[in-house]
Chains A and B, each alone.
Chain A
Amino acid sequence: ILNVEQSPQSLHVQEGDSTNFTCSFPSSNFYALHWYRWETAKSPEALFVMTLNGDEKKKGRISATLNTKEGYSYLYIKGSQPEDSATYLCAFALSAGNNRKLIWGLGTSLAVNP
């Protein structure tokens, strides 16, 4: 059974704090790793798609790193703001013949207190 694990499950931080979450996935047959932000009452929105070991991506105050050999990705938020409050999902795609699909973690729920 292929699992994508995200930790922590939830996080409460103060405005201005920096924080990070972890996404763990099977290290074999790696194909791609996605990060999404899902705000309440909205649709999931893509943050990053990462495909190469050592990839680092950045969008504003949010950045992500990827280690495919050990099977993890970190998402960092620098100087958290209340508008960063959301659930952050990662999804892993493995290379398995023609049936390539995304396997999703349960997410990390972030609450940023003003």
Chain B
Amino acid sequence: KAGVTQTPRYLIKTRGQQVTLSCSPISGHRSVSWYQQTPGQGLQFLFEYFSETQRNKGNFPGRFSGRQFSNSRSEMNVSTLELGDSALYLCASSLTATGRGASAPTVYNEQFFGPGTRLTVL
């Protein structure tokens, strides 16, 4: 079974530009979560998508947005990039909680992470 894939792996942008990152989950996983990882901050939750709907959201400004397609692939967009957006962006897919229905939160189940996209903003 193929793992979670993310593209691109590395990206260099300048302030003010926008960027789109892509994540393909493990086949059969309908939940995709996005995280930002910066030194000293740990993993910060951005948002979770399930069945093409944003189900949970972290405390990030509106410049950070995402979407999910019918095949569960997800994209994350950051507009008007700032220097502080330089980070490793990880996506993770997971199954819905077994036996708890399609709308159940996925935090019961392990997250499968992709390799990440390293974004540098100059």
Q: Which of A32, A91, A98 contacts B43 (CB 8 A)?
A: A91
Contact among A32, A43, A99, A103 with B115 in the assembled complex (CB-CB below 8 Å): A43
- CB-nearest residue of chain A to B4: A43
Contact residues, B101-122 vs A (CB, 8 A): 105, 107-116
* Secondary structure of the A contact surface, majority rule: strand
User: Is B63 part of the binding interface, using a Cβ–Cβ cutoff of 8 Å?
Assistant: no
- Chain A's closest residue to B46 (CB) is A101
Interface residues of B (CB under 8 A from A): 3-4, 33, 35, 40-45, 48, 55-58, 90, 92, 105, 107-116
Residue interface mask A72-89, B partner, CB < 8 A = 1: 000000000000000001
Apart from A32-B107, A49-B108, A102-B111, list 19 A-B contacts with CB within 8 A: A31-B107, A32-B108, A34-B107, A34-B110, A43-B3, A43-B113, A43-B114, A43-B115, A44-B113, A46-B112, A49-B109, A49-B110, A89-B42, A99-B56, A100-B105, A101-B45, A101-B58, A102-B43, A105-B42
Tally chain A residues at the interface, Cβ within 8 Å: 24
Closest to B41 in A: A106
For the complex formed, measure the closest distance between the CB of B60 and the CB atoms of chain A, giving whole angstroms: 12
CB contact between A99 and one of B41, B57, B90, B116 (< 8 Å): that residue:
B57
